[in-house]
Amino acid sequence: MSANTATTILIGGEWREALSRSTFPVTNPATAAVIGWASDGGADDTAAAIAAADGAFDAWAGTTAHQRSGILAQANLIMRGRQKELAALMTSEQGKPLKASLNEVGYAADFLAWFAEEAKRIGGVTIPSARADQRFITMRQPVGVVAAITPWNYPISMLTRKLAPALAAGCTSVLKPAALTPLCAVATLEVLVEAGVPAGVLNMVTTSRAAAVGDTLVESPVVRKLTFTGSTAVGKKLAAKATESLKRVSVELGGHAPFIVFPDADPVRAAKGAALVKFLNTGQACISPNRIYVHRSHYDTFVTTLTERVKALKVGAGETPGVSIGPLIDERAVTKMESQVLDALEKGARVTVGGERVEVEGLEGKTFFAPTVLADVTPEMQIYYEETFGPIAAVMPYDDEEEVIAKANDSEYGLAAYVYTNDLSTAIRVTEKLRYGMVGVNDINPTSASAPFGGVKASGLGREGGYEGIDEYLDTKLVGIAV
């Protein structure tokens, strides 16, 4: 594909070039090859997209829940029908192994299916009044135009996690996807348009100039809600600007998940679980364990088992069978891995496997980093507080429960936490004390379209998915009726 055949932006039902007519390249991180070009939208395109969403709002909000549900259900079928094609695109654009891409497309479609059902359950309540001549009812109505800003690490499911509930609620939207994965965003919107989403209801501005588009979205008084997934630094900035015009805000941000192995747990099973969840998406996941605390009685067994499992992980291009570690998204990510490893080694940690950048024969991509286990990590090290977002498992011993809970909570973040124990009361007691939005108990994947996803503290505001997911897109209107 050349710059002349770049993908387009979507405004008011029309797929068109950005007004500037400029484009930007999209690169496969494994091969370093340019695989496409995307339209480089700007503030002017964004203003047009907001106007289109505003213009389409009344009619869309006026459709029946069953009509909106039908379109989402159809989108679910179309997306599942394209699972292989979308997964192949995702692997070439983002780098994750093909199997993980297939899983992600399924997860993305789950949000379409889930919110197709939830659309039909938007109801209000009746409330008894203190006055005999009065009745109260509540209506739940769409908040208005939504601005959705999404990251590159889950380039399809993070879109449907926002757009599906917005559509179900009767909101219209403007999407700004990450500059590193615009092709997945275009393919996702094509699915929704084909399913019957009317002109203007969904608009999308791809861009390499995130701040110009983002600022236009958050500063517009017409936009009534910001939904953002990405880093804490950017999310905080955008949320602050969005609240100047008192928009509804939900932000899903960074994480620094503790993973705790108690003395009554099976250390081999826990190490196998850690090896699976830590290296998912090459560690580029917000729920990735960042501090693995293992009771001293199990420490050696755990480190040995984890090291053996990690040695068996194959690094390469996501399309290659058997590969479970793809490239990191860019050079900056590799530099961060190198800096965290170097800092940890200087302060007394041990690398038991990996620890450095690797080259993969036949591939031009330079952002492969060996899956790594760092043992004997301490709070003095960068990796102990800073989100890694890459394939490094940081492990350390602990001695007692109170100490490990305090350490686990000693983080600005509060997204996911993991607990391995075979004692029911330990599981409940510890889960209650962990200041995190999600806890996996002997479970490495506490996520599903039907369950609320989100964090506390610097990990964000609001919940996506589950029963709560649609609430972010609805206002409650009280009606008092004199009878």
Which of 256, 253, 233, 250 shows the shortest CA–CA distance to 434? 256
Q: Which is nearer to ligand NAD, 222 or 268 (CB)?
A: 222
Options 118, 252, 387, 464, the catalytic residue:
252
CB 464 to ligand NAD: min, Å:
7
Options 184, 286, 387, 472, the catalytic residue:
286
Segment 214 to 243, residues that bind ligand NAD, using CB under 6 A? 214, 229-231, 234, 238
> Coil, helix or strand for 204?
strand
Q: Which stretch binds ligand NAD (CB under 6 A): 19-27, 209-217, 272-280, 297-305?
A: 209-217
Radius of gyration of the chain (CA): 23
Phi/psi class of residue 157: alpha, beta or left (left: φ > 0; alpha: ψ in -120 to 50)? alpha
> Coil, helix or strand for 371?
coil
Q: Which of 37, 114, 115, 152 binds ligand NAD (CB under 6 A)?
A: 152
Alpha-carbon distance values, 435 to 109, 205, 298, 367, 456 (Å)? 30, 36, 25, 34, 7
Instruction: Give the pair of three-digit tokens for residue 170.
Output: 């009767």
171 part of the active site: no
Instruction: Give the pair of three-digit tokens for residue 39.
Output: 């339209």
Q: Which of 45, 252, 471, 472 binds ligand NAD (CB under 6 A)?
A: 252
Would you count residue 383 as binding ligand NAD (CB under 6 A)?
no
Would you count residue 460 as binding ligand NAD (CB under 6 A)?
yes
Would you count residue 254 as binding ligand NAD (CB under 6 A)?
yes
Segment 400 to 419, residues that bind ligand NAD, using CB under 6 A? 415
Would you count residue 286 as binding ligand NAD (CB under 6 A)?
yes
Would you count residue 253 as binding ligand NAD (CB under 6 A)?
yes
> How far apart are the C-alpha atoms of 75 and 450, rounded to whole Å?
17
Residue appearing with tokens 């060996």: 370
359 part of the active site: no
Would you count residue 150 as binding ligand NAD (CB under 6 A)?
yes
CB 39 to ligand NAD: min, Å:
15
Q: Which is nearer to ligand NAD, 42 or 267 (CB)?
A: 42
DSSP 380: T
Instruction: Give the pair of three-digit tokens for residue 237.
Output: 């900035």
Half-sphere exposure of 247 (CA within 13 A, CB side): 29
Q: Which is nearer to ligand NAD, 170 or 462 (CB)?
A: 462
> Coil, helix or strand for 400?
coil
> Coil, helix or strand for 379?
coil
Catalytic (active-site) positions: 252, 286
Chain residues that interact with ligand NAD, rule: CB under 6 A: 149-154, 176, 178-179, 210-211, 214, 229-231, 234, 238, 252-255, 286, 387, 389, 415, 460
